Amino acid sequence: MALPTPTDNELLRLMMAGEEAAFVTLYRRRQGGVYRFAWQMSGSSAIAEEVTQEVFLALIGDPRQYDPARGTLSGYLYGIARHQVWRCLERDRRRVSIEEEEPWQAPAQEDPLSELARRERIETVRRAVLALPMRYREVVVLCDLEEMGYAETAATLGCAVGTIRSRLHRARALLAGKLAVGLRAGHASRCLV
């Protein structure tokens, strides 16, 4: 009979008691989501790596800052990541390159044209998300890409659930417009070749 998987809060409690293995488990469980969030918000794998490191250093440095009454541990980590992304983007004060390579390799497909079209669609969506104003980008990334609920997103961003719904509605409308333009432009450029 397998032992039950410890919750994030149980792992945090064990980590605070000095159990290094609990932190390692917690890190492995949450590091991917924090990295993806930072990468999707910034468009930069270097910033995503820096933010991920800073998030977990903050957790190690002062784990008592997390208040379970205010939300989940993952929401708390995304909140730290959000502030770190803002800090990094402010520090750089430049437009983050969106031509950076993707941090993952897609599986090879048999049809090269289908693969090329799929990659173009992914890049179009990625560019459209990065072109959104930050307040809309963060709700799209958290709610749609990270599949976080409205309440948890609201707690993470420190605003009301209604604000999240409103921003998400507006963000999706902006994104749909950007994607329509981007996909038409992509189709037109293929027709010219």
Summarised one tens digit per residue, pLDDT across range 144-156 is: 888 899 999 999 9
Alpha carbon distance 159, 167 (integer Å): 11
Task: Indicate the pLDDT class of residue 76, thresholds 50, 70 and 90.
Answer: very high
Cα–Cα distances in angstroms (integers) from residue 23 to residues 2, 3, 84, 176, in the given order: 21, 18, 21, 40
User: What residue ranges do the domains of the chain occupy?
Assistant: 1-97, 110-193
Alpha carbon distance 85, 80 (integer Å): 9
Distance of CA 16 to the CA centre of its chain: 26
Q: In this model, does residue 143 exceed pLDDT 70?
A: yes
Q: In this model, does residue 114 exceed pLDDT 50?
A: yes
Could you tell me the two tokens for 30? 């949450």
Helices (H), 17-107: 20-42, 45-61, 73-92
Mean pLDDT of 122-134: 87
Q: What is the model's pTM?
A: 0.71
User: Class assignment of domain 110-193?
Assistant: mainly alpha
Q: In this model, does residue 56 exceed pLDDT 50?
A: yes
Contact in structure between 164 and 143 (CB atoms under 8 Å): yes
The tokens 């990468």 sit on which residue?
39
Mean pLDDT of 114-119: 79
User: Class assignment of domain 1-97?
Assistant: mainly alpha
Q: In this model, does residue 106 exceed pLDDT 50?
A: no
Closest CA to 145 of 129, 161, 164: 129
Alpha carbon distance 135, 37 (integer Å): 14
Contact in structure between 59 and 77 (CB atoms under 8 Å): yes
State residue 97's pLDDT score: 46
Contact in structure between 126 and 103 (CB atoms under 8 Å): no
Mean pLDDT of 150-166: 94
Q: In this model, does residue 93 exceed pLDDT 70?
A: no
Closest CA to 65 of 12, 142, 8: 12
If you count them, how many residues does the chain have?
Answer: 193
State residue 183's pLDDT score: 57
Encoded amino acid at 184, one letter: R
Helix (H) or strand (E) run with residue 39 in it = helix 20-42
